[in-house]
A and B are shown apart, each in its own frame.
Chain A
């Protein structure tokens, strides 16, 4: 990809900035060839990767280098897009929101600085991947479990900052953040929470510190660059008990949510059960053409036939209990009774006890196999995720499910959705899987995405996270008092980042200097 300069920066100034950056990190860690730029673009984009073209990338190895880079960015007014490992797949990967932005790739800052088994926490740099931490815990026989997202290629820090989730009782990853070290857009270094006390012995124990608490202000944010993150890890339980339930009919997701939500809220279930349409298993293991060659979305009768052949219900519920065996058994009985009111078939039970192999334990074990689904359509696959947050109640879940499925069918894309149940809400991740070389399909997907945002907003449903192409659209749905929250975010942005050098457009927050770029 040819060079796209940052808005308002001349090529001469830009080249001087790159030279200055090379003076900090070394020439080999400033990447600015056409091929380099391609490697930071959104590989899975639905035909609009060229709206988010980085001008270069810089890879520091230390906090001091990050600070020096930030000072150079201010001097030359060159914007930076920080990434931890750049594997935010389905949401833009490593690509910046605004073309011309320099990617600040923190992958080389990959030290596991501390793991404390007694108190169950770790302190990480942003480049540490899920696989890295997992192997570290395994190799050192540390009895702490991780919460891992479906595709585990990425960064532990990056995922928590983007509010990703996993499937253990510690699954709401952003909630486990306890203490950050952050380089502000002016290069100043701060530590949040108790880390603000230089000799604190509880930085990773007490989240709030004293006065305003800042950890969440650096999540999905362009207010600072996180260079260290404390995170709570779950102590290995004595036992786990998994229950896998097939729900035969599309509307069963409604009563399932209503049965599970009170159990989740009361702590009978402590992790976040996932209710996903079973097509995802078929799509991971096979290709669409093996089942159906017709145009348009997979017809309902064909889908039923596929599910029947694979012995699957319309939805699959996966949930798991963690803790003492006796307690798990009692809770499992309560859950089975709730389901038996509605379905007759056997509920699959998977038991694990401490000392058994980690497979089937329900511990977070990293894998990348979830990525298989992009092969479903054939060709060069891509995917994008539309992820609204709904109240954990059938009236909302059914309404949203039917409305989304209908929208998918209108443009001929197969419905692929899941509901992950938290204490009071459910996150509804809808994947759109496409052949990214099929321009007609990708343009329909892009239009669908905007329609889904509007549909959801009309019902009062917000998104928990979104792709870089839709950050403004989603931000604008937060419209109370003429978007006063956006104005507050912009006021903070202005105060912290007057030159607008950090991640312009992230989550719809633009610095004044860059605001013309708003779509």
Chain B
């Protein structure tokens, strides 16, 4: 029986990016802080669940370009997002973007996505968000 591939995250393009981020993560992680791991998990979830629309060329990116300009169109590059905002918008939707319910996207997964999108500058070194939408 074959599992849904998205459960194990085996999109081919992701391996290189993951290896690179882990290398950098290793260099900056300190003590018991699990933020590096959370960023990685959040990034994987973002790419799987939000990437259809919110990576380069995606419909959400195009809509955001129109509304806020190119500089603020890629969510993974934004530094002005807050955890509360990401979570609220995901749940209630905005403009053309429909809401996401807690079955397709449970709270713990949304927490990780919000953590990733609001990660501090120190965790942004391995930014690979310019890859195209899947």
Q: Which of B6, B63, B103 contacts A132 (CB 8 A)?
A: B6
CB-based nearest B residue for A380: B95
Q: Which of B4, B59, B102 contacts A36 (CB 8 A)?
A: B102
- A139–B10 contact, CB under 8 A? yes
Q: What B residues does A381 contact at CB under 8 A?
A: 95-96
Give the size category of A's interface with B.
35 or more
Interface residues of chain B: helix, strand, loop or mixed (majority): loop
Tell me if B62 counts as interface (CB < 8 A to partner A): yes
Complex CA gap A29/B92 in Å reads 19
Tell me if B72 counts as interface (CB < 8 A to partner A): no
**Contact A375/B134 with A36-B101, A380-B96 known, Cβ cut-off 8 Å:** no
Tell me if B1 counts as interface (CB < 8 A to partner A): yes
- A85–B52 contact, CB under 8 A? no
Q: What A residues does B3 contact at CB under 8 A?
A: 111-112
- A112–B2 contact, CB under 8 A? yes
CB-based nearest B residue for A93: B98
Q: What B residues does A380 contact at CB under 8 A?
A: 95-96
- A375–B66 contact, CB under 8 A? yes
Complex CA gap A381/B93 in Å reads 12
**Contact A38/B5 with A43-B93, A135-B11, A369-B62 known, Cβ cut-off 8 Å:** no
- A132–B98 contact, CB under 8 A? no
Tell me if A489 counts as interface (CB < 8 A to partner B): no
Q: Which of A102-110, A180-188, A330-338, A504-512 contacts the other chain? A: A102-110
**Contact A110/B4 with A31-B102, A381-B96 known, Cβ cut-off 8 Å:** yes
Give the size category of B's interface with A.
20 to 34
- A139–B101 contact, CB under 8 A? no
**Residues 68-100 of chain B, each 1 if its beta carbon lies under 8 Å from chain A, else 0:** 000000000000000000000001110110111
- A368–B2 contact, CB under 8 A? no
Q: Which of B3, B7, B95, B98 has the most CB of A within 10 A?
A: B98
Q: Which of B7, B59, B91, B103 contacts A59 (CB 8 A)?
A: B103
Tell me if B16 counts as interface (CB < 8 A to partner A): no
B44 → chain A closest CB, angstroms:
13
Q: What A residues does B5 contact at CB under 8 A?
A: 112, 132, 135-136, 139-140
- B101–A57 contact, CB under 8 A? yes
Q: What B residues does A59 contact at CB under 8 A?
A: 103
Tell me if A86 counts as interface (CB < 8 A to partner B): yes
**Residues 363-377 of chain A, each 1 if its beta carbon lies under 8 Å from chain B, else 0:** 000111101101100
- A108–B103 contact, CB under 8 A? yes
B102 → chain A closest CB, angstroms:
5
- B104–A105 contact, CB under 8 A? yes
**Contact A39/B58 with A111-B4, A372-B63 known, Cβ cut-off 8 Å:** no
Tell me if A390 counts as interface (CB < 8 A to partner B): no
A residues bordering B, Cβ < 8 Å? 28-29, 31, 35-36, 38-40, 43-44, 57, 59, 85-86, 89, 93-94, 105, 107-108, 110-115, 128, 131-132, 135-136, 138-140, 152-153, 287, 366-369, 371-372, 374-375, 380-381
Q: Which 4 A-B pairs have the closest CB atoms?
A: A59-B103, A39-B101, A43-B98, A39-B99
Name 7 interchain pairs, CB-CB below 8 A, sorted by A: A36-B101, A111-B4, A135-B5, A135-B134, A139-B10, A287-B66, A375-B66
11 additional A-B pairs beyond A105-B104, A368-B59, beta carbons within 8 Å, are A36-B101, A39-B99, A86-B104, A111-B2, A112-B2, A113-B2, A114-B2, A136-B5, A287-B66, A367-B59, A375-B95
